[in-house]
Every structure is written in structure tokens, then in C-alpha cells.
């Protein structure tokens, strides 16, 4: 399967999330910021999620919904949301369906070993359900502000 890229339509999928079943097709009509991160409660992922949390009102004002995705369980996500005060939905993707669809599963070096994991990535999906912009191999500092600027320009 070829990964989705800019201009691709996002298929109708029902996903398990911290707010119950989430259907991507039902989100059309509003911009969607879908960010993929490796793991709950790790330093970079926590900072990234806190940055999205801190800018949440700005994203909402700009007409965008923020949704985070990792392979962690719903229980882990719920705990992470509570601990960090995250006001947005987190999707649990343990079977990597969404991760594979967006092509974010990569081989990475961790402590000198090759491991397969989630490449930190963000996708801006337009009101029409198509990917408007993508950021792959994301570095956390300044990223959320760059995404917010893209949403506002969109």
C-alpha cells in the first residue's frame, strides 16, 4: 500500500480514541491537524503534546481540530491526557493501521540498535478531507507554531 501524501483523500476510517469511536470522514468541513508521535510519557512526545495543548485555543479559533496518534493503548492515552491536561483527542493505533496509511512507520536507531517505530509527523487535512500539508521527521521546538501558521494561512 502506498502511503498518503499531500493531495491524497483521507479514507473513511473509524478509530478508537480517548473520546470514543472517531470517524475521520465525519470531520470533513473543519481542518484537522493529525499528529503522530512515538510514545506517551516520553520527553519529546510529552513536550510536543504540551505544545499542542498550550496552543489548543488558537487552533480552535483558526477552525482546526487537533488529534494525536500513537500505538499506545487507550488506557495509556487516557492517563497521559489526564496527567498533561490535554484538551484534545488521542487515537490508539496498536495495529498500526493509521500509522501505515500515513507512512510514518520507520526504522530508527535507538541506543545503537535498529528498531521500527513511529516517525514524528504531522498532517494538515483540509475541510475537503484531503491532505493539504505534511511535516515528516519533525523536531519538536517551533513545530506547533509552524503548524498553527499553516492552519491560519489555509
pLDDT for 70: 97
Active site residues: 45
Which pLDDT score, from 0 to 100, does residue 112 have? Answer: 83
14-153 maps to which CATH number?
3.40.30.10
- State which H helix or E strand residue 66 sits in: strand 64-70
120 near 43, Cβ under 8 Å? no
Q: Answer whether 125's CB lies under 8 Å from 131's CB.
A: yes
Identify the CA nearest to 50 among candidates 42, 32, 146, 92: 42
Question: Mean pLDDT, 10 residues at a time, over the chain (154 residues)?
Answer: 81 90 82 96 94 97 96 96 96 95 87 86 93 94 96 90
User: What residue segments make up the domains of the chain, in order of their start?
Assistant: 14-153
Q: Strand 64-70 and strand 89-92: pairing?
A: parallel
Question: Which of 3, 2, 13 has the alpha carbon at shortest distance from 129?
Answer: 13
Amino acid at each position: 500500500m502506498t502511503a498518503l501524501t499531500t493531495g491524497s483523500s483521507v479514507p473513511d476510517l473509524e478509530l478508537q480514541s480517548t473520546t470514543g469511536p472517531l470517524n475521520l470522514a465525519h470531520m470533513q468541513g473543519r481542518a484537522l491537524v493529525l499528529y503522530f508521535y512515538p510514545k506517551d510519557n516520553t520527553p519529546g512526545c510529552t513536550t510536543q503534546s504540551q505544545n499542542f495543548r498550550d496552543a489548543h485555543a488558537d487552533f480552535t479559533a483558526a477552525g482546526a481540530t487537533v488529534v494525536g496518534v500513537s500505538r499506545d493503548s487507550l488506557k495509556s492515552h487516557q492517563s497521559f491526557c489526564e496527567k498533561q491536561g490535554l484538551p484534545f483527542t488521542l487515537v490508539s493505533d496498536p495495529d498500526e493501521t493509521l500509522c501505515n496509511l500515513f507512512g510514518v512507520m520507520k526504522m530508527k536507531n535507538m541506543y545503537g540498535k535498529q528498531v521500527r517505530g513511529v516517525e514524528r509527523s504531522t498532517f494538515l487535512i483540509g475541510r475537503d478531507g484531503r491532505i493539504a500539508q505534511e511535516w515528516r521527521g519533525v523536531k519538536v521546538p517551533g513545530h506547533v507554531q509552524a503548524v498553527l501558521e499553516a492552519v491560519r494561512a489555509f
